[in-house]
Structures are given as C-alpha cells and as structure tokens.
C-alpha cells in the first residue's frame, strides 16, 4: 500500500473530493504546493479542474512542473485526473501556444460533435493493455475494468502512441479516456465522483 500520497495543489482542482475518497480507503494524503514534499512522497496525484493554460502557468510559477517530472522520472507512482491527464501531453487546443509537460506525445483536442462539455456518466471500456502490455481479461495486473464513470470535459487527449491507451469511451466517436505507461496512470474521468466503480479503481491503484 502507498504510505503517503501527495496531491498537487496548484490553486484549483477537485482536491477535497479526492482526499475524501482516499480517506475512505484509509490512505493518508496531503495537498501540497511544495516541490520538496512532492519529491519526497511515495506517490503523486495531479487533479484538475479549470483551463489548461491556467494549470500549466500555475505549475511553472510554483516550480511544480519540475517536481512532477522528477518524481515521475524516478519511478514514483503518478495518477493524473481530468485536466491532470491532459497536462501530460504536449499541447491543448484550449490554450494555443501553451506547452504541456510533454511526457506523452500528442495533443488535447476539442469535441467537435455533441453537447460540449460532456457532463455525466459514460461507459469506460478497457483496451486490454496494462501499461502498454496486452493483458488477458480479468488479469490481476489490469487496473481498469468495464464500468461507468463520471465525466466533465470539453477536450480529450489524442495520444500519438496508441500503445499507452488503457481505456476508451464513446462520445459520438471513440476517444482515449485513460492512459498507462510504467508508473504513470491518467484518466479523463473523475474516479472520486464515479461511485463504487471509481472507488474500486482508486483502491486498485493505491494497492489497498
């Protein structure tokens, strides 16, 4: 089990709901904007609500971008939620000219069809991959299971490397709603607001 989770506090985001969900699991967490605390933690969560441009500006002003990158590079388990997933890519149509963390190749694009933003429950379909490796259905290593999650998003990630896609969702067209590679997991939906299914996902990620 992860001993201490640092939740990156960049000045916005769904920090309280994430902490409440972790608390129900009996997992200790701390919201912090201190790069040193992030680097010292056993795992890191980057939640996200708001705009891509604001998030990236805030991370860079506080030195949190480098702390996140260093933490990931040394193998610390990382979970990005919603905008926290989008930040891992190179750029977003929401904020032209603003660079993301660039951990994954690809960009964040806007839905071109349907009601925007997508708000509400939608089905999550596992890709059958575990961190880029194909897993059998029911594999104990598989983090994602088929179920319904809660979404609030106008933009979605379009990875250049399809092998990192861990799960997809259909919103008048299929898009990647979760990615995994090594110690990195990121989801477009809000597991902390996705009922029992989301709770079980967090439970598997934390190793409880």
Which of the following is catalytic: 42, 130, 190, 208?
190
Report the length, in residues, of the chain: 208
Residue 179 is encoded by which pair of tokens?
């990615």
Strand, coil or helix: what is 22? helix
C-beta separation of 171 from 153 below 8 A: no
Sign of CA dihedral 179, 69, 18, 83: negative
Six token digits for residue 154: 């106008």
| 190 is a catalytic site residue | yes
Cα–Cα distance measured from residue 29 to residue 38, given in angstroms and rounded to the nearest whole number: 11
- Mapping DSSP to helix (H, G, I), strand (E, B) and coil, where does residue 107 land? strand
Helix or strand or coil: residue 28? coil
The catalytic residue among 82, 130, 135, 157 is: 82
What are the residues whose beta carbons fall under 8 Å from the beta carbon of 43, sequence distance 6 or more?
2, 4, 5, 6, 76, 77, 78, 79, 206
Residue among 37, 157, 192, 208 flagged as catalytic: 192
**93 vs 116: CA distance, rounded Å:** 14
Active site residue 66: no
CA distance 180 to 45: 14
Active-site positions read 82, 190, 192
């Amino acid at each position: 089990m992860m001993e201490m989770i640092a939740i990156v506090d960049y000045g916005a985001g769904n920090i309280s709901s994430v902490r409440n969900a972790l608390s129900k699991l009996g997992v200790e967490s701390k919201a912090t904007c201190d790069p040193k605390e992030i680097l010292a933690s056993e795992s890191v969560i980057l939640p996200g609500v708001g705009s891509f441009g604001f998030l990236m500006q805030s991370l860079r002003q506080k030195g949190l971008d480098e702390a996140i990158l260093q933490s990931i590079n040394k193998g610390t388990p990382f979970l990005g939620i919603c905008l926290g997933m989008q930040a891992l890519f190179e750029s977003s149509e929401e904020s032209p000219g603003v660079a993301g963390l660039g951990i994954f190749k690809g960009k964040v694009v806007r839905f071109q069809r349907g009601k925007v933003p997508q708000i509400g429950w939608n089905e999550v379909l596992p890709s059958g991959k575990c961190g880029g490796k194909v897993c059998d259905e029911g594999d104990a290593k598989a983090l994602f299971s088929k179920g319904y999650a809660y979404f609030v998003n106008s933009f979605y990630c379009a990875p250049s490397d399809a092998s990192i896609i861990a799960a997809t969702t259909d919103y008048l067209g299929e898009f990647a709603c979760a990615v995994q590679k090594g110690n990195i997991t990121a989801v477009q939906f809000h597991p902390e607001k996705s009922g029992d299914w989301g709770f079980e996902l967090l439970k598997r990620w934390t190793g409880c």
